[in-house]
């Protein structure tokens, strides 16, 4: 169930005007006296109403913090404890770095554990084990881990990490041969909330899809969605999707598989495999028109239309199996202020649960002003 669609709850009245009116009405009913504007008693009660409304706001917030839909920060952590769920810690990016020996030296060279390299003298990576370039060899590749947790270490493509911080004798140069990946920040409240909601699934020993989804999300804080299917009895296929529509790399897939294949996480008869989701690419080509009566704010509407299209593309890729729905695209553009929308593409496309819809290109054309 999507808890965001639940009706909002208000435990106490927090509107200052309403609180003030309640206090004045109560005084007038008890005293039999009408309080007119400027009356000293009324002024005192108005000041009192302000203080009471602040207290009611705190009472309402405190009560809501006990509910999953509203809790944040430490309150969310305390709710999670009831289901034996803990927030995921930040993770560190890793990368493969090649150490190249001086061509004039043919002997053995040892790359010590903890040798640091950097792309920019701000982010540093260090070797996670000692490595040796044997006699006659010219280089060796070493796995390095970022010294800073989080996403800051991600995205350094091959050839960007070329500076060695801790010099090693007879090492002439270094360069990364892969893109640094795997770093994630402290698990966000929203991601944590989604795991807490499905946590009861993990208590089952029958292998429900929800249990596989729960455990898969524990592998990495950036796993935004998981699709689980069983194409045949005893076979379970799992497709994790990273945030912003990203596809999991080999390391994440391996982490998910390691978690799901332990004997305490799956029925013994299940054969579990983890795969990358398939991308379903689509293009956006629209023409929109603005009402003549909105001519004075047409520039703002055009800006909101651009934002609306981006929101649509983000919406399609944030969840597996979300259909490409031009009706939703029209809705967001009209909500941005457009009078009429012509959608040349995309057409309605059903997206399988193991796939994610990704916008390849967006062509957004302003067609001009129209009368009603």
Q: Is residue 79 part of a domain?
A: no
Give the end of a domain, one of 148, 176, 204. Answer: 176
The DSSP annotation for 64-86 comes to: HTTSTTT--HHHHHHHHHTTT--
Assigned token pair, 196 = 């807490």
Which residues are within 8 A (CB) of 175 and not within 5 positions of it... i.e. 6 or more apart?
Answer: 97, 98, 100, 158, 159, 161, 162
Q: Is the predicted pLDDT of residue 339 greater than 60, yes or no?
A: yes
Residue 78 lies in a domain: no
pLDDT at 208: 78
In a domain, 74, yes or no: no
User: Do residues 268 and 296 both lie within one domain?
Assistant: no
What mean pLDDT is reported for the chain? Answer: 92
Residue pLDDT, tens place only, 138-150: 999 999 999 999 9
Instruction: Please state, in angstroms and rounded to a whole number, the distance separating the CA atoms of residues 106 and 172.
Output: 13
Q: What is the pTM of this model?
A: 0.64
Same domain, 131 and 149: yes
Whether residue 310 lies inside any domain: the answer is yes
Kindly report the CA angle at 159 between 136 and 118, in degrees rounded to 5? 90
- For residue range 155-180, list pLDDT tens digits in order: 999 999 999 999 999 999 999 999 99
Give me the pLDDT at residue 182, please: 87
Amino acid 338: pLDDT: 95
- Using CA of residue 329, residue 333, residue 336, residue 339, what is the dihedral sign? negative
DSSP bridge pairs for 291: 370
Q: Are residues 245 and 228 in the same domain?
A: yes
Same domain, 193 and 272: yes
- Same structural domain, 257 and 288: no
What's the CA dihedral at 236, 81, 224, 262 to 10 degrees? -30
Same domain flag for 322 and 333: yes
Average pLDDT over residues 82-105: 92
Asked whether residue 298 is domain-assigned, the answer is: yes
Q: Show Cβ contacts of residue 3 under 8 Å, excluding neighbours closer than 6 positions.
A: 68, 69, 193, 197
End-to-end CA distance of the chain, in Å?
40
**Count of the separate structural domains present in the chain:** 4
In this structure, is residue 205 part of a structural domain? yes
Give the end of a domain, one of 222, 243, 276: 276
Res 206: pLDDT:
55
* Same domain membership, residue 272 and residue 292: no
Structural domain including 261 reads 189-276
Inter-CA distances, 72 with 10, 66, 135, 191, 221, Å: 17, 10, 57, 11, 17
With respect to residue 136, please indicate whether it lies within any of the assigned structural domains. Answer: yes
Q: What confidence tens digit (pLDDT) does each residue in 194-241 have?
A: 899 988 877 765 567 888 888 999 888 889 999 999 999 889 999 999
DSSP state of 101: E
Does residue 321 share a domain with residue 348?
Answer: yes
Q: What does the pLDDT read at residue 1?
A: 66
Q: Does residue 297 lie within any of the structural domains?
A: yes
298 and 245 in a common domain:
no
**Which of residues 121, 155, 176 is at a domain's end?**
176
Q: How confident is the model at residue 37 (pLDDT cuts 50, 70, 90)?
A: confident
pLDDT at 327 (0 to 100):
96
320 in the same domain as 265: no
> What's the confidence (pLDDT) of residue 198?
84
| 117 and 152 both lie in a single domain | yes
Same domain, 288 and 357: yes
From the number of C-beta atoms within 10 Å of its C-beta (0-12, 13-18, 19+), residue 34 rates as: exposed
Output Rg (C-alpha) for the chain, integer angstroms: 29
């Amino acid at each position: 169930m999507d808890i965001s669609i639940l009706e909002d709850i208000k435990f106490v009245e927090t509107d200052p005007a309403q609180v003030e009116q309640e206090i004045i009405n109560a005084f007038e009913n008890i005293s039999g006296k009408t309080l007119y504007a400027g009356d000293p008693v009324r002024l005192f009660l108005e000041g009192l109403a302000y203080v009471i409304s602040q207290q009611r706001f705190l009472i309402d917030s405190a009560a809501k913090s006990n509910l999953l839909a509203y809790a944040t920060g430490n309150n969310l952590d305390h709710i999670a404890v009831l289901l034996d769920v803990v927030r995921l810690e930040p993770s560190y990016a890793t990368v493969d770095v090649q150490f190249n020996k001086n061509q004039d030296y043919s002997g053995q060279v040892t790359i010590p554990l903890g040798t640091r390299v950097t792309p920019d003298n701000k982010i540093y990576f260090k070797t996670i084990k000692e490595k040796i370039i044997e006699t006659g060899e010219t280089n060796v590749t070493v796995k390095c881990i970022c010294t800073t947790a989080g996403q800051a270490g991600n995205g350094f493509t091959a050839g960007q990490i070329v500076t060695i911080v801790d010099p090693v004798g007879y090492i002439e140069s270094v360069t990364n041969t892969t893109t640094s990946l795997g770093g994630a920040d402290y698990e966000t409240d929203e991601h944590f909330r989604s795991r807490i909601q499905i946590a009861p699934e993990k208590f089952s020993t029958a292998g429900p899809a929800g249990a596989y989804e729960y455990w898969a999300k524990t592998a990495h804080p950036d796993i935004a969605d998981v699709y689980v299917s069983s194409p045949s009895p005893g076979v379970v296929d799992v497709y994790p999707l990273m945030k912003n529509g990203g596809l999991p790399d080999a390391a994440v897939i391996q982490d998910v598989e390691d978690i799901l294949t332990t004997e305490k996480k799956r029925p013994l008869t299940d054969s579990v495999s983890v795969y990358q989701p398939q991308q379903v690419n689509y293009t956006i080509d629209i023409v929109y028109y603005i009402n003549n009566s909105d001519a004075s704010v047409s520039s703002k509407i055009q800006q909101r239309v651009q934002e609306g299209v981006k929101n649509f593309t983000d919406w399609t890729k944030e969840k597996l199996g979300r259909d490409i729905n031009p009706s939703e695209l029209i809705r967001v553009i009209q909500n941005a202020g457009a009078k009429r929308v012509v959608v040349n593409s995309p057409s309605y496309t059903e997206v399988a649960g193991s796939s994610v819809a990704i916008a390849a290109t967006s062509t957004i054309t302003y067609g001009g002003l129209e009368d009603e």
